[in-house]
Structure 1
Amino acid sequence: MAVFVRVAETGSLSRAAREMELSQPSISRIVGTLEARLGTTLLLRTTRSISLTDAGALYLDRAKYLLAEMEEAEQATRGVDSLHGVIRLAMPVLYGARAVIPTLAPFLAQHPDLRVEMIMSDARQNLITDGVDIAVRLGVGQLDDSSFGSRKLALVERLVVAAPSYLSKHGVPANPGELAHHDCIVQHGEFGRESWRFTHNQTVTSVSVPARLWINSAPGVLAASVAGLGIALATRLMAGEELRSGQLTQILAPYRLDPAEVYAVFPAGPRPSAKVRAIVDHLATSLGVQL
């Protein structure tokens, strides 16, 4: 049943085989045996793709539910301090390195039979096909994965930063409107907007910024800012070391940006497994509301 679920979710016998550390013929044989026992075809296989039949789609929903119930029963028997298996945890590179990873030591010490596989990328993963149990995501506004379960973990302050070398050459903008005359660095994704929204004295202003550089990762945005290539948005947590060392300077401090919201997203829906609930609880306690 577990093999069938991973083949159906990934759409690939070979990928399911790699993830489950089995040979591809074994994966194919297991699915074939399941279909023979049920007396129906669950998967349509071609040389290029695998798709679900109507019976397969129905069985997939029930199989995922039953597997989750089995894990719950096993966990109830072992007790909460005996979590085991693997958690696949996806997170943005810089936030993961500076916020999430430093919190994990006590969690792993409490659960010695639990293994965590981290997927660190600023690209938005497909949580189902990538087999992700939980993703930590940052954004401003609503999440787009409405069918997934989620929990808010933290708020992080956003600010506008630039290197002293850039400011000495181009001047310091006195208000958001002056950003139009500066080089700006924009990150693809949730923060990748050419309109930055500021609040000052209860007045909200949206400013269209000229994006001189588009970069697809937070470390890249940070490096470009430190190199004096322009003005960027960052969170205080992610740019804290560079601000303290003087490599970056906060500008437009009186003009507040909406904080970034940090969420745990889990594709298992509102009833995730015990190990997912445990790590989400840990992250919510450890990360807190960071402003």
Structure 2
Amino acid sequence: MARIDINRSGEMEVFVRVIERGGFSAAAREFRMTPSAVSKLVGRLETRLGTRLINRTTRKLLLTPEGAVFHQKALRILADIEEAERSAASAEQPVGRIRINTSASYGTHVLAPILAEFLARYPGISVDLIQTDKVVDLLAERADIAIRAGELASSTLVARKLGETRLMTVASPAYLARMGHPRTIADVNRLNRLGFCYVRASEGWRMMEDGATETISAKSKVQASDGEALRYMAIGGVGMARLAGFSVRADIEAGRLVEILPDRIMSEMEAFHAVYVGQGGQLPARMRVMLDYLAEFGRVS
């Protein structure tokens, strides 16, 4: 029979089965080994530990005092291993910490409101929520999942779409009362446009006038690193901003913001995705249930 290399937990399991079954032959049948192979394995274990664990007689096996102590500890260790594997593989009660990197707008308006229900469903999961609108390296940031807006660059990441939202250009009623409501592209160019202080896929706002399309710069005196800061500045009357529809609809309904030239500024849709590093198709249960939850309750429109 070929030599079998067994690790420490495997040695413990064979030893425990020998004691439970009362002999080498019964344990050997369970592991599909020969009795001599089981006997040699226990002998190697005793040699490695430097002590006898079992006193062998022609009729039965008796644990030595050292063997009795080792047997009890081995039982606890094997039970802990089984519990750890069950927890890791269980889809019903996943455990562990999930690190999510998301834009400030998505984190504030979509993810934060649904987290309480998620944590109630899965009490064994903890969440670290890191908010930034800048695209990050998942591995460098130790993120499990990232929520990204806009077109995705080709990469080895796996993406799950969370819907699309219309980009809306907004400003506060007070700002428009002070500066005047824009009616043309020239009017928009005259107003202060709030933008992002890092490179984005689109560096301007596309507008249509007299059948022609023109892109105007979004650069301004005041820029920010996340959409929520731009939203608050727009509400405060600093200027106008172009933001995800789901983040400003409540402000428009409440009269804190007004949409500017919806018939002139081209209606552009921005897609949102949950992206993660593929692991050969085998995701930890904690990530699998989070991705399923986002796909059901974390969609944007």
TM-score higher than 0.5: yes
1:262 matched to which residue of 2? 272
Identity of aligned residues (%): 25
TM-score, normalised relative to structure 1: 0.65
In structure 2, the CA distance between the partners of 1:170 and 1:77, relative to structure 1 (3 Å rule), is closer
CA RMSD of aligned residues (A): 2.9
CA contact (8 A) 2:102 2:132 kept: yes
Matched, 1:218 2:218: no
CA contact (8 A) 2:88 2:284 kept: no
CA contact (8 A) 1:215 1:221 kept: yes
2:158 matched to which residue of 1? 149
Matched, 1:134 2:145: yes
Query: Could you list the per-position Cα deviations for residues 127-154 of structure 1 after superposition, in whole angstroms to 9, with x for gaps in the alignment?
Result: 1022110011122xx2236121111112
**Matches of 2:298 and 2:262 in 1, distance apart?**
24
Paired residues for 1:138-287 under 5 Å? 138-139=149-150, 142-144=151-153, 146-189=155-198, 193-198=202-207, 204-209=213-218, 211-254=220-263, 255-268=265-278, 271=281, 272-287=283-298
**Matches of 1:199 and 1:274 in 2, distance apart?**
48
In structure 2, the CA distance between the partners of 1:286 and 1:165, relative to structure 1 (3 Å rule), is same
CA contact (8 A) 1:148 1:270 kept: no
Paired residues for 1:31-46 under 5 Å? none
In structure 2, the CA distance between the partners of 1:120 and 1:163, relative to structure 1 (3 Å rule), is same
Unaligned runs of 5+ in 1: 1-72
Partner of 1:223, secondary structure, is helix
Partner of 2:237, secondary structure, is coil
Query: Could you list the per-position Cα deviations for residues 191-236 of structure 1 after superposition, in whole angstroms to 9, with x for gaps in the alignment?
Result: 6844112468997543334523221121221121112111110122
Query: Could you list the per-position Cα deviations for residues 95-140 of structure 1 after superposition, in whole angstroms to 9, with x for gaps in the alignment?
Result: 201111212233222222111111122333321022110011122x
**Matches of 1:225 and 1:159 in 2, distance apart?**
12
Partner of 1:115, secondary structure, is strand
Paired residues for 1:21-36 under 5 Å? none
For residue 117 of structure 2, the aligned residue among 106, 128, 134 is 106
TM-score, normalised relative to structure 2: 0.63
In structure 2, the CA distance between the partners of 1:211 and 1:88, relative to structure 1 (3 Å rule), is same
- Cα offset, 1:167, TM superposition: 1.0
In structure 2, the CA distance between the partners of 1:274 and 1:75, relative to structure 1 (3 Å rule), is farther
**Matches of 2:189 and 2:210 in 1, distance apart?**
21
**Matches of 1:193 and 1:219 in 2, distance apart?**
18
Query: Could you list the per-position Cα deviations for residues 60-90 of structure 1 after superposition, in whole angstroms to 9, with x for gaps in the alignment?
Result: xxxxxxxxxxxxx946985311211111111
Aligned partner of 1:182: which letter? L
In structure 2, the CA distance between the partners of 1:285 and 1:194, relative to structure 1 (3 Å rule), is same
In structure 2, the CA distance between the partners of 1:157 and 1:192, relative to structure 1 (3 Å rule), is same
Alignment coverage as a number of residue pairs: 217
Query: Could you list the per-position Cα deviations for residues 11-69 of structure 1 after superposition, in whole angstroms to 9, with x for gaps in the alignment?
Result: xxxxxxxxxxxxxxxxxxxxxxxxxxxxxxxxxxxxxxxxxxxxxxxxxxxxxxxxxxx
2:132 matched to which residue of 1? 121
1:95 matched to which residue of 2? 106
CA radius of gyration, larger in:
2
Partner of 2:242, secondary structure, is strand
